[in-house]
Structure 1
């Protein structure tokens, strides 16, 4: 039996999880509300909050899983990508815990972990499959050939899809985090306003132009009617969400066709978006795909995905040393 302690601290969630023989025994997440008044994550405040949260979060994860510290076989931690200060806290804790108990260390690529979250539950994809990983910092189409054999076939040339949601929310003067609020309003509206789709060759994305188009659209409408946003919030959000989702899925459709893939998954924080989940399900039905959508608790940053990735690395004997340093940028 292999018991893996997973540590996640790449951004503003402090999380710890326990994986017992490939099954998640606990997944504890401490969110940081301090960033709300700033309208975005403040890196220095995030790292300080991680320092406060990490010990109680780990203790709770171990207790919830019904194990003792002496039962743990290895410690897996997010090495990158992410905010460097936040990563330092998680990395330092994982290394100290492992050193104190003479346990092997397992470093995990945060983006690979999002994809491997699909192997937590019983409905697992088969290799090869495509995974659309979408978050506030990343937008990628990944060809997944094996647990740790992944090829990024498409990615954003500038901004991420999650950032497009968040920046739109700021333009609409919605509180942080704004992405989920756009999703909420979108469910009550209709995509009546047309926003442009970038014409980027291949499987790559671009969202900077879309953000600019939304900014100018709202600015011009407010010049004529200062209450335009308030009176049309639902339809604006539905229109923005519709365009972002179609941009994402049009690229996935092309990649799936060109690579002859009929298994498609989504991962990352934006995979919690109801519009994306619904559109992917409908597209899968039309095209005969088998689709994989993670539970909401495994969409945002969490340690369960770190623990399950650590479990597969543990089985492969793929360990790292105490000299492992966190990496703000880390290749797939």
Structure 2
């Protein structure tokens, strides 16, 4: 009898302990979620689309109540529909100052889909989704194709790019990858935190993954850093690399003109600081031009290049163009707003 009472007491204490531990774990998880500002809807949206797009926009910068902001923003309500795609150079079109300018273009409505580290392969997949999942069928498509897209395609995406029944997708980084934009660990953890499991299990899962993540990160060597991304610009391309990139561009052109709604594809390219200082031996414009000349859609593709204007203008101070000490030569806000943005949008005015 005495032993039975002790066992009952022990079980009761254990149940009460687990109960309070569950409450404590629940509170800690809630604080973690609130601190990050994520919602279940945001995480599930990311989890759904990054399987085709490698990565989406930054979770901590997205509108948690509007998960589509991970892929695009909308500005304006004019009749002519425009999609703007590209990497961080196109992402600059999503700034508040840029949106203010774009909203003044009353004849146009814009879908701003620029996302850091995107390049033509991911843009191809993204364009398909913008049309088929979100019903955006533009008359004009503006593609900001940056110089670093060559390195991105060759180093980051070449072995993640897949053709699934004629459709191009770019898979996410593998689970054991710690490359820039590897998203599995964050998405996997927060899917668990938003699940219906007991909080104790969720907390244990999160802490276990955090320990594993930190240990593995210590021994991981990034494969596609600055040197690898800039290597094609500095050292050139092998013939097979050149042909591969031109094929990627033509796949993008074909996806663009898969819709009869599209009137014109406007490709925008801008030199980096290294081009103006003669430190680079390849300008992506040459590859774009060759791809265009090989395309059956060449008559509907326009190339807007800033290279000739900058290289032939002795009055230009390149320190007023590029952000200081930026290896990827992003544009200063004033130059972007006063020169780059109006020039790009001006191409639409010429067609309207």
- TM normalised by structure 1 equals 0.30
User: Relative contact order, CA 8 A, sep 6+: which one is greater?
Assistant: 1
Could you say which structure has the larger radius of gyration? 2
